[in-house]
């Protein structure tokens, strides 16, 4: 059985028991505890269960990307390399991540870089990326506006566990 499923059942059981205690005793203190535990449960699910992988490229052949957000480093992909094309097809069809996005770890990113990232992503995966993540980039207003014009949402950091 999947460990994540067991985790869900344990937390769900605690919430159901607390709800029953709250209804039976009609105590407001239990209601506050139930609300607090519900918020903690939502945070744990968001942070722990739905993970992200950064700087992903064909070096990671045996990795499992199911139920993850995958940030692909398109700087390290070559459109004419057959192995890279097979890797991208395997990632998209067999691994089936929750979301794919573009990852960049360059410091000075220009609009030409972003356009190249977007075109490379489209060539490999067959659709336009919606998100781009800059790890330590310095972006000027022109670059930010270019991303908005190309419907790319900029992400700088994540609260999720890698």
- Between strands 153-155 and 131-134, the pairing is parallel
Segment 11-57, tens digit of pLDDT: 777 777 777 766 666 666 666 777 777 777 777 776 666 677 888 88
Question: For residues 52 and 71, is the Cβ–Cβ distance under 8 A?
Answer: yes
Tokens 């310095």, located at residue: 138
Q: What is the pLDDT of residue 142?
A: 92
Q: What is the pLDDT of residue 30?
A: 66
Task: Quote the strand ranges of the chain, DSSP E.
Answer: 51-56, 68-73, 99-104, 131-134, 153-155
Low-confidence ranges of the chain (pLDDT < 70): 1-8, 21-31, 46-50, 60-61, 157-162
HSE on the CB side for 111, CA within 13 Å? 11
Tokens 């000027």, located at residue: 140
Task: Quote the strand ranges of 27-152, DSSP E.
Answer: 51-56, 68-73, 99-104, 131-134
Q: What is the pLDDT of residue 2?
A: 52
CA separation, residue 131 to residues 16, 65, 86, 151, 154 (Å): 37, 17, 23, 8, 6
Q: List the 131-134 sheet strands across, edge first.
A: 51-56, 68-73, 99-104, 131-134, 153-155
Single pTM value for the model:
0.69
């Amino acid at each position: 059985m999947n460990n994540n499923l067991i985790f869900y059942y344990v937390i769900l059981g605690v919430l159901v028991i607390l709800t029953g205690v709250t209804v039976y005793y009609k105590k407001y203190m239990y209601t506050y505890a139930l609300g607090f535990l519900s918020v903690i449960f939502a945070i744990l699910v968001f942070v722990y269960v739905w993970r992200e992988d950064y700087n992903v490229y064909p070096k990671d052949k045996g990795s499992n990307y199911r139920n993850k957000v995958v940030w692909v480093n398109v700087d390290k992909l070559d459109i004419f390399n057959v192995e890279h094309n097979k890797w991208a097809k395997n990632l998209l069809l067999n691994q089936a991540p929750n979301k794919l996005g573009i990852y960049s770890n360059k410091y000075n990113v220009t609009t030409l870089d972003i356009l190249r990232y977007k075109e490379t992503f489209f060539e490999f995966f067959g659709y336009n990326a919606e998100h781009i993540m800059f790890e330590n980039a310095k972006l000027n207003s022109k670059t930010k506006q270019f991303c908005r014009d190309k419907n790319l949402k900029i992400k700088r950091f994540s609260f999720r566990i890698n």
